[in-house]
Structure 1
Amino acid sequence: MHMIRARSGRPTVPRTDTLTGAVFADPASTPGEEPFVNDVVFTPGARTYWHRHGGGQLIVVSHGRGWVVRADGYGGPVEAGQSVWTAPGELHWHGAGPESFWVQRAYSFGTTAEWFAEVSDEEYARAVQEARW
């Protein structure tokens, strides 16, 4: 048995550097640990920038409705109780729907995520209208 004390003494913090909108992160593991486990709360319309993970990422949704979309437009809505696997190196973004909070636990594998451009309001609106599984 291993007790994970990553949250001990650390408050939940707002994140802004690679995110649009109000997003709060509460790491459940220590940075550098594999996998890196992070509980994240997205407010309505909040989302990540385009990014990818060297070893892939598993997103497990516990509350609300959000979106996971890769660069070719494939993806769509994800609700509480559902999970999404993004393959190693797969360029994608994820975040809350326009009218819902979204709470996820993300398991990120491999090296630190590579971050790219912000997902524009137009890209976000198009994904909400057109993304498909």
Structure 2
Amino acid sequence: MSYSTEPMTTSEPQRSRRTRRSSVKIVLLIWFLLIGAGITTAYWYSNYLKKSMLEQLDARIQRQTEIMKTDYTAQLAALSEQVEQLNNKVETFNELLSFTKDNASDKTDNSNKLYSQLNDVKNQLAKLQKQMELLK
């Protein structure tokens, strides 16, 4: 057996090389289209998730705001009621104080007791007003 040293030529027709090149181009085109479709779908899905999370967060914040508003109005109403009661007590003590001043003698010390009670009520009224300012 003798081997020839001349290069062997392939007898493949020119057409098969062209079809290989075109099939490679088609595969690459399809591959790029799939990658582009995947990127586009991922972008749309991330936007969808972002939108749904923002809607959920907004709904939660709205609920918490409503709860805080109702709580605030209830506290404000309670403090207003307490301030009104203290104002009534102050007026009553003022009337008693003016009555005892008119009827006071040197032997009684009732006016000092009323002054101390009046100061206590004024202190309580000042505390309640501070609490109302903090709530505002």
Query: Which TM-score band (shorter chain)?
Result: under 0.3
The structure with the largest alpha-carbon Rg is: 2
TM-score for the superposition, normalised by structure 1: 0.14
Task: Please report the TM-score for the alignment, with normalisation by the length of structure 2.
Answer: 0.14
Q: Which structure would you say has the larger RCO, counting Cα contacts within 8 Å and 6 or more residues apart? A: 1
Task: Give 1 or 2: higher helix fraction.
Answer: 2
Greater share of residues in strand: 1
